């Protein structure tokens, strides 16, 4: 356990090292937040209460998206690129010899990264937004706690999906295509381009049931206080359920991959 905690701490520090990159990212998140917030404002001014949100809710949703974009790695760029490269080069063989579990190792490092991104990339754009826009902040401490738990579960689901995607390079060798496809699904079905409650008919129902909604839609709804009473717990259970299923699938695929595939190199 201490090993994985140490890995997580170093994951945090590794990303914290690049201060200029972080500031550049904050700037970009803020610019995008402004652009999207204006389009949402235009939409909600003609359709107030669309998708069950009022204008401050909708604008807050935009900024939560910018804050969680890096945290739940919707655009990728976390450990998975590294793991894909290690599989391609054959270095993964060394990882498998180590007295540490492959999945837990990368999970720990990804949690460290996510924690840094939540603080480094999440807080400042939200602060900048609150100067210009009216945001819907949670009124109660319990909502904040629930939100943080929900973000944590979102990171877990995000990790589980990216781990599965990275493992496909045992067969495809070049993981770039699969990574792009994963990014694509994550941005659309997480609610990053539009809240999933605005999606029409069956598409909306489907999108809300898929695991990607755990990465933004669910934490955002918890933040905005859309779930009352036990609804909040159900939302967290939904995330935890997907996390368990996908992490399990990752284990399974890992054992198949390591047994059947001959590692390249040498």
Partner 1 sequence: MADAEYPVGRRTALFEPRGRTAAVRDGLRGYLLIAGMWVRSTVVYRTSFVLMTLGNFAMTALDFAAVAIIFGHTRVLGGFTLTETAFLYGSSGVALGLADLAVGSMDGLGRRVRDGTMDTLLVRPVPVFAQAAADRFALRRLGRITQAAVVLGWSMTRLHVAWTAVNVLLVPVMLLSGAGIFAAVFTTGAAFQFWATDAAEVQNSFTYGGNALTQYPPTVFAKDLVRGATFVVPLAFVNWMPALHILGRDNPLRLPGWVDFCSPLVALAVCALAGLAWRAGLRSYRSTGS
Binding residues vs partner 1 (CB under 8 A) = 18-21, 23-25, 27-28, 31-32, 34-36, 38-39, 41-43, 46-47, 50, 172-178, 180-181, 183-184, 187-188, 193-194, 198-200
Residue 3 or residue 181: which is nearer to partner 1 going by CB? 181
Residue 27 or residue 234: which is nearer to partner 1 going by CB? 27
Residue 200 or residue 266: which is nearer to partner 1 going by CB? 200
Residue 31 or residue 123: which is nearer to partner 1 going by CB? 31
Q: Which of 163, 197, 198 is nearest to 92 (CA)?
A: 163
Least distance CB 124 / partner 1 (angstroms):
14
Q: What angle do CA 230, 137, 212 make, to 5 degrees?
A: 60
Q: What angle do CA 208, 60, 183 make, to 5 degrees?
A: 50
Least distance CB 258 / partner 1 (angstroms):
22
What is the Cα Rg of the chain in Å? 19
Q: Which of 85, 162, 149, 164 is nearest to 118 (CA)?
A: 149
Strand, helix or coil for residue 133: coil
Residue 90 or residue 177: which is nearer to partner 1 going by CB? 177
DSSP state of 263: P
Place of tokens 């498998």: 96
Least distance CB 67 / partner 1 (angstroms):
16
Residue 217 makes CB contacts below 8 A (sequence gap 6+) with 190, 191, 195, 196, 197, 208
Least distance CB 248 / partner 1 (angstroms):
26
Least distance CB 176 / partner 1 (angstroms):
6
């Amino acid at each position: 356990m201490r090993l994985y905690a140490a890995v997580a701490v170093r994951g945090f520090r590794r990303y914290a090292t690049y201060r200029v990159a972080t500031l550049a990212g904050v700037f970009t998140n803020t610019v995008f937040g402004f652009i999207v917030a204006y389009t949402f404002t235009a939409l909600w001014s003609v359709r107030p209460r669309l998708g069950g949100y009022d204008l401050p809710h909708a604008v807050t949703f935009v900024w939560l998206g910018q804050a969680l974009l890096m945290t739940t790695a919707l655009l990728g760029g976390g450990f998975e690129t590294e793991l894909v490269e290690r599989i391609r080069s054959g270095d993964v063989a060394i990882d498998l010899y180590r007295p540490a579990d492959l999945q837990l190792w990368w999970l720990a490092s990804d949690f460290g990264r996510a924690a840094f991104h939540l603080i480094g990339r999440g807080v400042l754009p939200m602060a900048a937004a609150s100067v210009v826009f009216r945001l819907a902040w949670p009124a109660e401490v319990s909502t904040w706690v629930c939100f943080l738990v929900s973000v944590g579960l979102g990171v877990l689901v995000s990790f589980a999906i990216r781990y599965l995607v990275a493992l496909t390079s045992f067969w495809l060798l070049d993981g770039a295509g699969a990574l792009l496809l994963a990014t694509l699904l994550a941005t659309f079905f997480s609610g990053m381009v539009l809240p999933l409650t605005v999606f029409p008919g069956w598409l909306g129902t489907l999108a809300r049931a898929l695991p990607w909604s755990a990465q933004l839609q669910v934490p955002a709804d918890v933040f905005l206080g859309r779930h009352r009473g036990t609804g909040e717990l159900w939302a967290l259970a939904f995330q935890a359920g997907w996390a368990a299923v996908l992490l399990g699938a990752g284990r399974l695929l890992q054992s198949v991959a390591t047994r059947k595939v001959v590692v390249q190199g040498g």
